Amino acid sequence: MATTSPHGDRLVLARGGGDAGRPLLFVHGWTCRRDHWSAQMAAFAPAHPVAALDLSGHGESGCRGRGDWSVTGLAGDVQAALAALGWQDAVLVGHSMGGAVALEAALRVSERVAAVVLADSFVLPYGDLTEDDARAIEAPFHADFAAAIDGLVEQTGGALSAAEKDSLKAGMAAADPAWALPLWADLLRWTPDTAFAGIEAPIHAINGALIPEVARQRCAPHLSERLLPGAGHFLQMEQPAAFNRSLHEVLAAL
């Protein structure tokens, strides 16, 4: 199915499951796609309405009308998706940047959101990065975007197979740097404090082995954490069964 973003562009969603049960909306990370959630869509569709969204510019969604490449701007895509689906009481499940987008969306449409689940979203310690840190992280992507994506996947891909890593690299490197770089810049300077302070719905995290301690400490007062020992950053793809068990536990606790 498809809907329209706040900027007038086409947003594409995969929709599954029936109408009974608590709805789950899966939100992918930076330069990623909705099919990164395919294992979760299949696992949860028997008992839940499920959907996975391609954010603006990503996957099959358009971006011609968008000038605001920011975490808060993309939250409008999630808001539009929830409205198109007609969902209330939904759980937003966001991987990496998708977790930041989900938090910002929950802040804006609290009446539609029952909980937020962050999937390895704080692999970078957002809110604790200095300007020098952000510039150092950005620099390789400006110098050689494809090579930097290659390095990112190699460093964070954990036990994914070589074929899975190659597929990730190709998909992520296909993103247009004209929007990917300004969005990356905004993400590196994003802070969760306003969202943490304003969201009343419960926040949960399912994390792998790469979350820095400074990020864990910043987030601890605001969320409940579950760990997948040894998992890399793309944990929902690397350890789908373990991730799904953790998500089932989160849903059972709501």
pLDDT of 112-146, one tens digit each? 999 999 999 999 999 999 999 999 999 999 999 99
Is residue 37 a part of any domain in this protein?
yes
Q: Span 199-210, mean pLDDT? A: 98
45 vs 43: CA distance, rounded Å: 6
Is residue 232 a part of any domain in this protein?
yes
Is residue 201 a part of any domain in this protein?
yes
CATH number at residue 105: 3.40.50.1820
Is residue 211 a part of any domain in this protein?
yes
pTM across the whole model: 0.97
Split into its structural domains, the chain has a count of 1
Q: Span 180-187, mean pLDDT? A: 98
CB under 8 Å to 30, separation ≥6 — which residues?
96, 97, 180, 183, 184, 187
E-assigned strand segments in the chain = 2-4, 10-16, 24-27, 50-53, 90-95, 113-119, 203-207, 224-227
What's residue 116's pLDDT?
Answer: 99
What's residue 64's pLDDT?
Answer: 79
Domain that holds residue 92: 2-128+191-253
At 68, the pLDDT band (50, 70, 90 cuts) reads confident
